[in-house]
Structure 1
Amino acid sequence: MKKIFFLLLIAIFLLSACNHSFNKKVDTNSNNNSEEKIEMNKKIDNLKLNVKIDNFNFTAKLENNVAVRDLINLLKEKPIIIDMQDYSGFEKVGSLGQSIASDDKKITSQKGDIFLYNSRDIVIFYGTNTWNYTKIASIDDVGDLEKAMNNKNVRVEFLLIK
């Protein structure tokens, strides 16, 4: 009887050891997601944003975050045109028309920074402010930015540059 019990115990041990190696799952999905993120990061690094404010053209370097990825997907379809209103003499604000992903952090803006506010408003700064935003981009050359803003309402067109 002890012999049968011992053989049965060894058989159970061997079967459970074999079963463990055969049921081992390989998570290929996480590898694919990592590869997709790397590819998107490379894509973002190679893209610029054209920002046309009335008759002034600017280029901006995009940030690398969830909001920018959503914005890029929208811009692939067509340029985005936003009517922006002045707010307190240091920023222009306008609705994107829909919500996109955000990752708000308390940040102090600089002249030329472009932010997402409340997941649906785009803000362009020509002054500074500290608030919770998701940074979208920074305008490369802010030389004519205040002239373009000129304390009035403006129409802004955003377009991807490859």
Structure 2
Amino acid sequence: MKKLISTVLFIAFILCLTACGSTSDDKAGIPVPESENYEEQVKNEATNNTDTPDKELVDGETNTASSEESEMKFFINDVEVPVIWEENDSVVELRKDASKGDIIVSMSMYSDFEQVGPLGKKYHSDDKQMTVHNGDIVLYNSNNIVLYYASNTWSYTRLGKMDLPEQEVIDLLANGDVTIKISR
């Protein structure tokens, strides 16, 4: 009798588990994306669609940054350098100032891994502790722009990233002080 009750309870337990379970493809009726970066893929696809300038993206964002990004140019010693600019308040302010006239900064080498220069005014900053790498452009202390050709860890506001191979960044920055120009 004890064996029969145990068997019935075991079968009931198994039935309850299978009735309450769900598959990985259907959790509460929500489809599971094929990759972990699904939202980012959707956002990137929408950003790359140039049919309309203000194409609506995920979460109601609009695609105005790509046209604004292409409007701001960055030069190191008169060599135009492609930059992937961040979308933050600091870059918005920098872009606004560059539209009034070129921003020219005399940079100085520092510690064999960066060039630092004063912007002449304070910009909005949202400093966070981070490790920067070759090609990174950051705002330091709200009023200095820093270009990296090696790694460092400190508290900065990220402005952008030079879209160049590592050796080209080193060739531009590691051989003495430079002058940068940001223009629109």
* TM superposition score normalised by structure 1: 0.69
1:59-86 Cα offsets, whole Å, 9 max, x none, are 1011011111111111111121100000
The aligned counterpart of 1:148 is 172
2:119 to 92, 96, 99: 96
2:66 matches 1:45 = yes
Q: Is the 8 A contact 2:149 2:174 kept in 1?
A: no
The aligned counterpart of 2:98 is 75
Alignment of 1:11-160 (within 5 A): 42-46=63-67, 47-48=69-70, 49-142=72-165, 143-160=167-184
Q: Is the 8 A contact 1:75 1:159 kept in 2?
A: yes
Q: Number of residues paired by the alignment?
A: 122
Q: Is the 8 A contact 2:85 2:160 kept in 1?
A: yes
In proportion to residue count, which structure has more strand?
1
Distance 2:102 2:133 in 1: 25
* TM superposition score normalised by structure 2: 0.61
Structure 2 regions of 5+ residues with no counterpart? 1-59
Higher relative contact order (CA 8 A, sep 6+): 1
Structure 1 regions of 5+ residues with no counterpart? 1-37
Flag the 1:151–1:88 CA change in 2: closer, same or farther, 3 A.
Answer: farther
Q: Is the 8 A contact 2:131 2:154 kept in 1?
A: yes
What percent of counterpart residues are identical? 33
